[in-house]
Amino acid sequence: MKIVIAGNGLAGTLAAKALREQDERSEIVVLAAERHLYYPRPNLIEFVAGTLPLNRLFAFPEKWYGDHRIEVRLSTPAVRLLPAERKVETAPGERIDYDALLLATGASSFLPPLAGTDRKGVFTLRTLDDAHRILDHLSGHPRVAVLGGGLLGLEIARALRLRGAEVEIVEFFPVLLPRQLDARGSEILKAAVERLGIRIRLGKTTEGVLGEEEAGGLRFRGGEEMPADMVIIAAGVRPNLELAREAGLATDRGVLVDDYLQTSAPGIYAAGDGVQHQGRIYGIIPASFEQARIAAANILGKPTAYGGTMPSNTLKVAGIHLSTVGRIQAGPEEGEEINFEDPERGIYKKVVLERGKAVGAIWLGTKSGIAGITRAVHQNADVRKWKKDLLNEEFDFTLI
């Protein structure tokens, strides 16, 4: 059996690993758009910050691919699918036969329709080559505007601040991380980030990048301007759908898949940031892990259904621990929220209940107890009798 994987990001590489673990004989070919082997994207932030050397960026050494007989063709992206012929065409013009194909082409940085984004000194951060370009330009350009106060924008700001840059974040929404935090949590996070020496402007509508040939700052609605030597746009990502659309596969906001992660074309599966399952695009690491494993099983003829992924993230935002699981706001009926905050320590905790059962949580500024509350949410545990003690640092979650 010959299996071709388009994309060598998280989903593509972990699918290849899962395939080889379950099947020693199949031929596995990975087509990579980048000239680099797989690296976890969060590692790019630490590389930019100077806390992770280049040789530790990659998930697996080159020898690992050879030992597992996984052929990776770097700088060889898939550019055309021929589903009727079960072939995929690469950028060099080669046509490769397949018995099964996995689309793991991921997503690309979104550039909003602003004037001046083509100027020198305007960047996005999605690849290792992007990171190198940012660091090369940073020398002699110490004032940085980060457009976007989401997870990536906050992390980029921290990384460049560690490099000694003067950094200012500009966010369209009136709060930081509106999908991960409520209003009070956002206030506490903003104060913690500003203590790092990073300035933040909220509720700003950016109209364009200042400068002639080179970026000179940002212009906002109303005429206000903000000077900067370079601009990094962190305005989210968009799934890479060109391959699927041109081949006639069913797409919407992402590549449409069924419960077995098969697309509308026989023998073609999809996993990762570009997948839309039951109306939902997850775009989170846990979903890519799960989809990669399940897609591999289905490709090998071991029917395994994907039931979706509960939104759950534990990460660092500008060096500050943040964990979210399930819902972050109570519903209008029989919903309840319990909160704890310690602004001076940058700690904010919240549990969302429905009919007394845990359906979501926010844990900011601390990791203590997150494993227990995550388990409670996944189990939809009834926590009514522990409400008074649930957010105490010493609470024993094994009682639930």
Summary mean pLDDT of the chain? 95
pLDDT band for position 393 (cuts 50, 70, 90): confident
Residues 229, 126, single domain; the answer is yes
User: Does residue 275 form part of some domain?
Assistant: yes
Name the token pair of 29. Answer: 């070919």
- Is residue 118 within 8 A of residue 233, CB to CB? The reply is no
Domain with 325, as residue range(s), is 319-399
Q: What does the block give as tokens for 398?
A: 């094994």
Which pLDDT band holds residue 399 (cuts at 50, 70, 90)? confident
- Verify that 206 and 355 share a domain, yes or no: no
**Residue 127 shares a structural domain with residue 227:** yes
CATH number of the domain residue 375 falls in: 3.30.390.30
pLDDT tens-digit readout, 310-367: 877 777 777 789 999 999 989 877 789 999 999 999 999 999 999 999 999 999 999 9
Residue 160 lies in a domain: yes
Q: Is 382 exposed, middle or buried (0-12, 13-18, 19+ CB in 10 A)?
A: middle
How far apart, in whole angstroms, are the C-alpha atoms of residue 330 and residue 350? Answer: 11
The answer to whether residues 213 and 146 belong to one domain is yes
| Residues 20-75: tens digit of each pLDDT | 999 999 999 999 999 999 999 999 999 999 999 999 999 999 999 999 999 999 99
Give the domain CATH number at 172.
Answer: 3.50.50.60
Distances (CA, A) of 393 to 173, 240, 310: 32, 43, 25
Taking 90 as the threshold, does the pLDDT of residue 235 lie above it?
yes
> What single letter denotes the amino acid at residue 186?
S
Per-residue tokens: 331: 């519903």
Q: With left for phi above 0 and alpha for psi between -120 and 50, is residue 224 left, alpha or beta?
A: beta
Torsion of CA 116, 49, 14, 5, to 10 degrees: 30
Q: DSSP character for 176?
A: S
Instruction: Specify the higher pLDDT residue, 333 or 228.
Output: 228
Asked if residue 179 has pLDDT above 90, the reply is no
Residue 369: phi and psi, rounded to 5, are 90, -5
* Spatial separation of the C-alpha atoms in residues 88 and 29, rounded to whole Å: 11
Q: Which one has a higher pLDDT value, 151 or 316? A: 151
Q: What is the pLDDT of residue 248?
A: 97
Tell me, rounded to whole angstroms, the distance of Cα 349 from its chain centroid.
23
Residues 141-151, mean pLDDT to the nearest whole number: 95
Q: Both 9 and 84 in a single domain?
A: yes
2-6 vs 27-31, strand pairing mode: parallel
Phi, psi of 359 (to 5 degrees): -120, -5
**What pLDDT sits at residue 88?**
98
